[in-house]
Amino acid sequence: MYYGNSIRTKSDPQYDIIASELYMNYAEALDYILSFADYERWPGFGHASRFDLRRMDQLLQRLGSPHLKRKTVHIAGSKGKGSTAAMMASSLSAAGLRVGLYTSPHLHTMRERIRMGNELITEQDFANLTSAIKPAVEETHGGQYGELSTFEILTALAFYYFQEKGADFQVLETGLGGRLDATNVCQPDVCVITSISLDHTAFLGGTIPEITKEKAGIIKPDVTVVSAPQAPEASEVIRTVCQEKGARLIIVGEDIAWTSNASAHSLGIKGQKGEYEATIPLIGEVQMQNACTAAAALEVLDITPEHIVSGLANVRWSGRMEILKEEPLFIADAAHNGDSARKLTEALRKNFTFARAILIMGTSADKDSSSMIKELAPFFDQVITTTAHHPRATPSKDLAAAFRERGVEAYAMEAISGAVSKALSQAGKNDLICATGSVFIIAEVIEEVRNIPGERYPVK
């Protein structure tokens, strides 16, 4: 626990007394963290001048530098970074290591972002640790390096939690970009760059090379970098940065490769530690690419093929080609840009048989919805647009109008519950319903179909 200018541990006789004075409950902790600038919830991300890693360094120094005390995997990219992070964490756990996993955004609860193994941080630990770091947050916030954000505080909380739980490894997914991301204060043992495409162009740049340069900002001197297959212009930037930093580069598809087997869940990996067969519960060729990327990075960390295979077989990652129902087949997938949408339709065509295809789509206002619609419109027989309970959500009527401009009739329904009900009422038992467009839409669709609760935060 941080108190004044020192860290108090549970062995300190004053720990319980201090804790009782400072501790919040979970709702209070959420309210406190969300009271800071939350760039995930803003329609625009603003300017890079708002992001300054020196305040993260300052905050973490006040907490005893917990981010530097364990082995670290750092992952950036436009697509697949969450799945790859989950695969790596699962395989490290299979090797008998205590593994902290930090990802974003979440589907149903903020606690999904911070895990030990497969277990989410508990409400009690979230509240207690928020209370513990609050004095350091208050000291740092608004100081010489500017104001802390919600994401920065959550990142510090994750580092602090992994230290408290005695993690051997921490697997960190960047939130946005890489160079200026709050996670980029870490000292990685391996860096991973997943597939890069046009995304967050208002903040990261309008071209693939510009975006790649931001993502490649996680690369540190003398660290091994694993890159998923990239477009030539992205690959060139990654190679250049690695040369400049003296980093060793492993390219998936060249230095390590995979082959798709007959099963939708099976692949062969030809790695630097030999050849081995693996299965993954996640569907689609893109997940096989993610699995091979994870395997390459795990080999760098001297994880054995046996543990890699075990970890891949047991990975859990919701909202990615996830089957919610059968008869009719109901799939949720968090495709969020044009390239993701194209790969989604390819995966649906390859892996499933169905009569008609019904789309439920909602997007975030800062995303390139037109590129997604271009890919999705020709594939689906019926379209229902909807809107998430999120300040960045695109109005459903705007999406419906965009489909109509392409000659596709679309029904605009504000409420996700109504969109799901309409899709189910229109679908025969041999039809396909697919929900996609943003993580926020997927979260609420899953909650509606499976009747599970989800946290809702104030719109501000």
How do strand 329-332 and strand 322-325 relate by DSSP bridges? antiparallel
Check residue 353 and give its pLDDT.
94
Q: For residue 283, what are the contacts with CB-CB under 8 A and spacing of at least 6?
A: 264, 265, 320, 321, 323, 347, 351
Give the pLDDT band of residue 367 (cuts 50, 70, 90). confident
Q: Supply the CATH classification number for the domain 322-450.
A: 3.90.190.20
Give the pLDDT band of residue 456 (cuts 50, 70, 90). confident
**How far is CA 335 from each of CA 119, 248, 373, rounded to the nearest angstrom?**
25, 31, 11
pLDDT in tens, 75-112: 999 989 999 999 999 999 999 999 999 999 999 999 99
Give the mean pLDDT of 40-59: 74
- Average pLDDT over all residues of the chain: 90
**How far is CA 309 from each of CA 89, 268, 314, rounded to the nearest angstrom?**
12, 10, 9
Check residue 336 and give its pLDDT.
78
Give the mean pLDDT of 366-371: 83
Check residue 203 and give its pLDDT.
59
4: pLDDT strictly greater than 50: no
Give the pLDDT band of residue 69 (cuts 50, 70, 90). confident
Which of 175, 177, 179 lies closest to 156, judged by CA? 175
Check residue 262 and give its pLDDT.
62
19: pLDDT strictly greater than 80: no
Which of 351, 373, 355 lies closest to 432, judged by CA? 355
Check residue 256 and give its pLDDT.
95
7: pLDDT strictly greater than 50: no
3-class DSSP state for residue 302? coil
Give the pLDDT band of residue 202 (cuts 50, 70, 90). low
- Looking at domain 2-313, its CATH superfamily turns out to be Mur-like, catalytic domain (3.40.1190.10)
pLDDT in tens, 189-200: 999 999 998 765
Do 2-313 and 322-450 show the same overall fold? no
Residue found by looking up tokens 């400072």 in the block: 22
Which residue type sits at 303? I
Check residue 1 and give its pLDDT.
36
15: pLDDT strictly greater than 60: no
Tokens of 58: 């300052």
5: pLDDT strictly greater than 50: no
Between 214 and 460, the more confident residue is 214
- The CB density around residue 460, as the number of other CB atoms within 10 Å, is 9
Mean pLDDT lowest for which of 5-9, 39-43, 71-75, 103-107? Answer: 5-9
Q: How far apart are CA 257 and CA 358, in angstroms?
A: 35
pLDDT in tens, 243-277: 999 999 999 999 999 998 766 688 999 998 899 99
Rounded to a whole number of angstroms, the CA Rg of the chain reads 22
Cβ-contact 73, 85 below 8 angstroms: yes
Note the residue count of the chain. 460
459: pLDDT strictly greater than 70: no
Q: For residue 42, what are the contacts with CB-CB under 8 A and spacing of at least 6?
A: 391, 392
Check residue 278 and give its pLDDT.
95
Which residue type sits at 298? L
How do strand 224-227 and strand 266-271 relate by DSSP bridges? unpaired
153: pLDDT strictly greater than 70: yes
Domain range list for the chain = 2-313, 322-450
Give the pLDDT band of residue 393 (cuts 50, 70, 90). confident
Q: How far apart are CA 186 and CA 182, in angstroms?
A: 9
